[in-house]
Amino acid sequence: MNLLPLPPRKAAVRESRQRLVCASHFVLERNLRGFPYPSQASDAQRAEVFARVVSALERLPEPLRPVPVPADAPPEEREDLWISVFPQEPEPPESGPDTALFAGEAFGLRYALGVNQGSHVKLWTATPDADWNAVSVLLDLLAEKLGDALEWAFRPDVGHLTADPERLGTGLGIWVRMHLPGLGLRGILQATARGLRELGFGLRTAHTEEAPYRIGGPAEEECGGSPGALYFLHNLRSGGNGFSEEMLLGVMNMQARNVMGHEWAARRKAIEDDPRDIADRVSRAAALMGSAYLLSYREALDAVSALRLGAEAGILPVRRPEALDALELDLLPYRLRRRFGGTTDVSHRLRAARATVARDALQAAGAPAKPRAKGTKEN
């Protein structure tokens, strides 16, 4: 097997926002004037809020109107919605009296709406690319149309009132999932995270070992790094008097670009300092994904991270690097169960299924996978 070429010390780093921003998630909170927050409301008050919001939803234009997500919906359907739209929530939405979850799609975006889920109304949506224009239009339109039938809790000197102090003002939370291997390689990720916090922005690990794809703790406190070098950049404040959702989107966009600039500089420096180390990481990842029979979620994510870095630095000759981007979701346990059936409930079968998916993705990207010996069966 031929070794991968070493990158030149002055290797060009492909500065593509699309390659660094994996997805962006948004949550917009609104509360009704004259009613306590759900956690402080009586049963009668929660019931009144529920009735008013549901009535307002029924009056939305047909293209905007979401449909209820039944409490007895298949677990994989609810998990898919939770993971794809609002992974920033520590727990799945409540299901009980005077609570509801709706789902809809508009402007090419999937979205969810919760009633009495921490706030009276919560809107969640996500975009898989770096274009936030459709998100801004969707959130503004939904909030405006619902506001025609509901009176939001608002103070001119503060903005929209929310139970979460971090959402006070615009009520908007933005979570940008980013691939940041360079900062980790240079050993400056934790310092970067601390600097961001001083500016009012957080950086959190995108995964935990115990619960894949549930957002972990602050990056400045994580010594081992996030699986796959994936992190969420998010706002710690939501504005205030005279601060609009559009302004917050602009500020977050600028801060995301700043982080990307640091990441690109870190990648260039890592290659200049030790190109052999980078090539070694990429070669090992390619060998692992091309020949492993069993893969844990962390192993797979770390290998994908190295391959993406190698493709973007010109070390790994792949024709379709985008084939590696979807693996973060495709390697999740529930996705593997859906594809391979319930027999993957056993841990080693999950890891075997994950290895199969990883090999397929590596071949789809255009990189050679190590051929199997004749007579070897897939697990």
**Residue 43: which CATH number?**
3.30.590.10
pLDDT, position 209:
64
115 closest CA partner among 129, 104, 99: 99
Residue 8 lies in a domain: no
Rounded to whole angstroms, how far apart are CA atoms 109 and 97?
Answer: 29
Q: Is residue 11 part of a domain?
A: no
Q: Return the higher-pLDDT residue of 259 and 317.
A: 259
Rounded Cα–Cα distance for residues 135 and 301 (Å):
28
Task: Return d(Cα 28, Cα 50) in angstroms, integer.
Answer: 18
pLDDT at 188: 94
**What pLDDT, on a 0 to 100 scale, did the predictor assign at position 372?**
41
Confidence of residue 344 (pLDDT cuts 50, 70, 90): low
Res 211 pLDDT > 90: no
| Mean of the per-residue pLDDT values of the chain | 85
| pLDDT above 50 for 110 | yes
The band of 373, judged by pLDDT with boundaries at 50, 70 and 90, is: very low
Same domain, 120 and 30: yes
| Judgement on whether residues 222 and 282 belong to the same structural domain of the protein | no
Has residue 369 got a pLDDT over 50?
no
Asked if residue 371 is part of any domain, the answer here is no
Same domain? 280 vs 251: no
- Are 90 and 216 within one domain? yes
Domain shared by 176 and 295, yes or no: no
Residue 158 has what pLDDT?
A: 87
Beta-bridged to residue 81, according to DSSP, are none
Instruction: Please indicate, yes or no, if residue 207 is contained in any of the structural domains.
Output: yes
Residue 65 in domain: yes
User: Is pLDDT of 320 > 90?
Assistant: no
pLDDT in tens, 289-304: 999 999 998 899 999 9
Q: Tell which of 246, 265, 284 closes a domain.
A: 265
Last residue of a domain, one of 221, 246, 265: 265
Percent of the chain's residues with pLDDT above 70: 88
Mean pLDDT, range 246-274, rounded to an integer: 92
pLDDT at 348 over 50: yes
Find where tokens 């025609």 sit.
148
What whole-number distance in Å separates Cα of residue 254 and Cα of residue 277?
Answer: 32
Q: Do 255 and 289 belong to one domain? A: no
27 — alpha (psi -120 to 50), left (phi > 0) or beta?
beta
Q: Angle 347-365/297-312 helices, nearest 10 degrees?
A: 10
Query: Structurally, how many domains does the chain consist of?
Result: 2
* Highest mean pLDDT: which range of 64-73, 301-310, 311-320, 339-348: 301-310
Could you tell me which residues come within 8 angstroms of residue 376 by beta carbon, excluding any fewer than 6 positions away?
none
Over residues 267-287, the pLDDT tens digits come to 999 998 988 999 999 999 999
Q: What is the pLDDT of residue 183?
A: 95
Residues 62-76: what's their mean pLDDT? 84
pLDDT at 104: 93
- Same domain for 231 and 283? no
**Within a domain: residue 177?**
yes
> Are residues 254 and 158 both part of a single domain?
yes
Give residue 322's domain range: 275-365
Q: Using CA atoms, how far apart are residues 71 and 81, in angstroms rounded to an integer?
A: 13
Report which of residues 222 and 365 the model is more confident about: 365
Residues 206 and 314 in one domain: no
Between CA 132 and CA 221 the distance in angstroms is: 30
Q: What one-letter code names the amino acid at 234?
A: H
CA distance 15 to 312: 9
Say if residue 18's pLDDT is above 90.
Answer: no
Q: What is the DSSP letter of 11?
A: P
Mean pLDDT of 142-170: 91
| End-of-domain residue from the set 265, 295, 330 | 265
What percentage of the chain reaches a pLDDT higher than 90? 52
User: Which residue, 96, 272, 266, is CA-closest to 182?
Assistant: 266
Helix (H, G, I), strand (E, B) or coil at 205: strand
Do 306 and 215 share a domain, yes or no?
no
pLDDT surpassing 70 at residue 213: no
Q: Is the pLDDT of residue 36 over 90?
A: yes
Taking each helix axis from N to C terminus, what angle separates 275-291 and 245-273, rounded to the nearest 10 degrees?
Answer: 100
> Given this model, what pLDDT does residue 379 score?
35
Residue 372 inside a domain? The answer is: no
pLDDT for the residue 2 = 57
Most confident of 19-28, 74-83, 137-146, 370-379: 137-146
Q: How confident is the model at residue 370 (pLDDT cuts 50, 70, 90)?
A: very low
What's the rounded mean pLDDT across residues 120-145? 90
- Tell me, yes or no, whether 230 and 305 share the same domain: no
Question: Does residue 291 share a domain with residue 312?
Answer: yes
pTM: 0.88
The reply to whether 6 falls in a domain is: no
